[in-house]
Amino acid sequence: MTKPMSEIAFEQLVYENQAVLIKVCNIFCKIQADKDDLFQEITINLWKGLPSFQGNSKLSTWIYRVSLNTAISKSQRKRKNLIRYTERLPEHNGLISNEDAVDEEQIQMLYAGIERLKPVEKALILLYLEEHSYSEIGDIMGISEKNAGVKLHRIKRKLEKILQPCTNLKTSEA
């Protein structure tokens, strides 16, 4: 029988894995107050769900499951408050410099594009961008590996289409 984790150990665990929680918050919420709310909600659910964590699945899988379930439920209930769909994507000059420096504008544009996806699509694209395998994505989302691949293919196309208006500028040489 596994010994229950102490409160301090749990807080340390969340502290060490907070990057996952922050990424989920960033993708599901736009303003900091909403992000803080969601972070808090995920922390509570992780704490409540801790006794059911048997160690059968990976810790990261468990954290992702709780985080995404919480975020999806919250965004469904408070869609109007939580997700503020932008009428237009932020305008961009269309250029990525060869120095691989991705500027703030491009990041904003990507988030604005992701913001237009549905909650479960956001969850899937987040896992994809975090470079999880289809098998891991299927495990976290509770769908087959094949289905995860098919869904992701559609979501990637959708995201590219959303970001298309920002892409009219041609390659330039100065």
Partner 1 sequence: MHQSQNIGSMKTDDIKQIWKSANTDETVGKQYSLKEIQEYRKKKSRQFSQSGKRIIYFDMGFKGLLVLALLYLITFQVAEPVYQQIIVVLISVTAILLGMNFIYLKKLEKIKETDAVMNNLKNQLHYFKNTYRNFIINSSFSNPIFVVTGFFFYFQFKYHEIRMGTPWEDPVLYLFLLAAFIISLGAQWANYRNELKELTEAIKDLDDESIASLKIEEHRMSRRRNLFMYTILIVLGMLVLLYFLL
Footprint on residues 52-91 left by partner 1 (CB under 8 A): 52-53, 62, 65-66, 68-70, 72-74, 76-77, 79
User: Residue 114 corresponds to which amino acid?
Assistant: I
C-alpha Rg value of the chain to the nearest Å: 18
**What residues numbered 9-28 form the site for partner 1, per CB under 8 A?**
10-12, 14-15, 18-19, 22-23, 26
Instruction: Assess 43 for contact with partner 1 (CB under 8 A).
Output: yes
Binding footprint of partner 1, residue count (CB under 8 A)? 80
Among 45, 60, 90, 158, interactor with partner 1 by CB under 8 A: 45
Contact call for residues 159 and 125 (beta carbons, < 8 A): yes
Quote the CA–CA distance of 111 and 126 in Å, as a whole number: 11
Within 13 A of 130's CA, how many CA atoms are on the CB side? 20
C-beta of 15: minimal distance to partner 1 in Å? 5
Query: Nearest distance from residue 115's CB to partner 1, in Å?
Result: 13
Residue 116 interacts with partner 1 (CB under 8 A): yes or no: no
Residue nearer to partner 1 on the CB measure, 2 or 97: 97
Whose tokens are 């939580």? That residue is: 82
Q: Does the protein bind partner 1 through residue 5 (CB under 8 A)?
A: no
Between 70 and 115, name the residue whose CB sits nearer to partner 1: 70
- Tell which one of 24, 82, 123, 132 touches partner 1 (CB under 8 A): 123
> Of the two residues 54 and 87, which places its CB atom closer to partner 1 in the complex?
54
Between 3 and 142, name the residue whose CB sits nearer to partner 1.
142
Q: Which residue has the tokens 């975020």?
A: 71
CA pseudo-torsion sign 133, 137, 143, 147 = negative
The pairs formed by 102-111 with CB atoms below 8 angstroms and a separation of 24 or more are 109/163, 109/166, 110/163, 111/26, 111/27, 111/30
CB of 160 to partner 1, least distance (A): 6
The DSSP element (H or E) to which 39 belongs, if any, is helix 32-49
